[in-house]
């Protein structure tokens, strides 16, 4: 190994000071850096309607009641809520009056995740026993229509 001369020692010391100075400058530049920026992306379109459903057992007759189970399916990629259910009855048969039926729906708000199906709750469908001939309702298809705000 060679001995370091005075000239080499001075050069090594100068190189060390230069490295510290450059490194210190880099640290200074890092700590004092500033900047701005932004980013953007489109939100979910949420364009598909939530699908509401009602199901109940067949064979209802005057004076009878059925439990109605309400469901909701969300085909969207974002969550939503379902609230304020409304229900009405249609029969599709002349002489089988929707007024002979009463239907209830659950109240409250239910969270509905993206691409999910949930049971919203239960209500009742009642076929009123009125003092008239209700034969037009024999074999009729009773439909519970569901809406939400």
Q: What is the pLDDT along the chain (149 residues), one digit of tens a residue?
A: 566 666 655 655 555 555 455 555 555 545 566 666 666 666 656 678 899 999 999 999 999 999 999 999 999 888 989 988 999 999 999 999 999 999 999 998 888 899 999 999 999 999 999 999 999 999 999 999 999 97
Say how far apart CA 114 and CA 84 lie, in whole Å.
Answer: 20
- Number of domains the chain contains: 1
Considering the domain boundaries, does residue 103 fall inside one?
yes
Which ranges constitute the DSSP H helices of 39-116? Answer: none
CATH number of the domain within which 130 lies: 2.60.40
Considering the domain boundaries, does residue 124 fall inside one?
yes
Structural domain including 135 reads: 51-147
Nearest CA to 80 out of 106, 52, 39, 122 is that of 52
Beta-bridge mates of residue 91: none
Considering the domain boundaries, does residue 86 fall inside one?
yes
Give SS3 for 20: helix
Considering the domain boundaries, does residue 71 fall inside one?
yes
Nearest CA to 66 out of 51, 55, 81, 76 is that of 55
Considering the domain boundaries, does residue 26 fall inside one?
no
């Amino acid at each position: 190994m060679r001995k370091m001369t005075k000239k080499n020692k001075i050069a090594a010391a100068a190189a060390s000071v230069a490295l510290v100075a450059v490194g210190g400058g880099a640290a200074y530049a890092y700590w004092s850096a500033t900047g701005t920026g932004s980013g953007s992306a489109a939100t979910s379109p949420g364009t598909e309607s939530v699908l509401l459903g009602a199901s109940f057992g067949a064979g209802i007759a005057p004076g009878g009641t059925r439990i109605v189970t309400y469901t909701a399916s969300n085909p969207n990629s974002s969550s939503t809520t379902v609230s304020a259910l409304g229900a009405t009855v249609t029969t599709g048969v002349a002489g089988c009056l929707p007024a002979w039926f009463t239907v209830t729906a659950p109240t409250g708000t239910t969270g509905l995740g993206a691409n999910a199906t949930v049971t919203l709750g239960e209500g009742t469908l009642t076929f009123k026993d009125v003092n008239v001939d209700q034969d037009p309702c024999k074999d009729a298809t009773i439909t519970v229509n569901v809406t939400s705000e």
